[in-house]
Structure 1
C-alpha cells in the first residue's frame, strides 16, 4: 500500500511516502510557524523523490493532535482536500501515538503544552496504556511513576525533559514533531478508516475571529 504521511501538529513539518515498509521519500523541516506555506511544496517534492504521481496514492495518514491548534488544522485541511480529490481514505493518527512509534518496551510520549501542562500518553510495545490526556506537570509525573513501577522507560517528545527528573534513569528522546514515516506506518495498519477529526485536549490559546 502506498501511503502519504503528514505531520504539522508541533514545531516541525514532516512528510513521508511509504510503499509497505519501504520508505520511498521523507522530508522534515523544524518550524514554529509557516506550516501552511511549506506543506504542499514538501508533499510535492516527496512524491517526485518517490517517483510517483499523486493519483498513485492509496491512503493518506495525518496527525490530528494534540498539538498546535493552527498546525493540526493545516495538516488536516490539506489531507482532506487531497483525499477528496483523489477519492482515497484519510486516516487520523494521534500525535502522541506517532511520537511513540515503534519504540519497544514502555514508552511515554509527552508534549510540552505550556501553562505548566503536558499532553501525555503511555504505550507498551505499541499498545496504548491510557488515553491521551492534558495534565499538569506534577500530575503527569505522578502518572509516570505509576506507569513505570521501576521498569525501564523511554520518554519521547518536547515534554520529556519536563518529566525526566522523576525517572533519572529514563532514556529521553526530544522531538520537535512526529515522524511522518511513523504516521504513514500507523495509517497503513488501520483496517477501517473513519473520517478524521481534530483531537483537542483543551481549548485553543488563539481564538478564531468571530
Structure 2
C-alpha cells in the first residue's frame, strides 16, 4: 500500500514537473532589467560609452547559465526534452497493460526508444559543460534516429497490411457464415456445415498460436 502511494506520488510530481518544464522560461525576462538601466544611464550621460560597454559585458557574463546567455534560454532549451523524457518513461510503465496487440506494442516500444534517445540527447546537450557536442556525435545521433525511425515506419506499414488482410478475412468469413450457409447449403446439411467451418476456424486459431 505504501509502495503504491509512493509510486503514485512520484508519477504525480513527475507529471507536474514535466508539464510545467516547457513553460518555466516564461517566468524569466527575455533580457535582464540591468541592461535597460544601463542604457538609460548612457542616454542620460551618467556614464561614458566605454563604461557602458564594459558594464554591458560584465552583465552578460553574470547572466550566463550553463553555457546559455541567460537562464530563460536554458529552460527554453531543456523544458521540452524533459517533458518528452517523462512521458516516454510513463509509456514504458503503462503500455504493457493497455496494449494487447503484439505488433502495436512493437510500434509503441520502438517509438519509446526513439523518444527516450532524442530527449536524453537534448537534455545532455543542454547540460553539456562545453559549447557543443563533437561533430561525430551528431552524425551518430542522426544515424540512430534515422534507423529507428525507419524501423518504426516498416512496423506501421506491415501492421497496416496485416490489418487489411484481417479485414478481408473477416469479410470472407461473413460471406461463408451467412451467404454460403443460407443461399447454397441445403437445410439438412446446415448443421454439419456450421460444425465443419467452426472446427476449421478453431484449428486455424490453434495453429496461429
Relative contact order: is structure 1 or structure 2 higher (C-alpha 8 Å, sep ≥ 6)? 1
User: Structure 2-normalised TM-score?
Assistant: 0.22
Larger radius of gyration: 2
User: Structure 1-normalised TM-score?
Assistant: 0.21
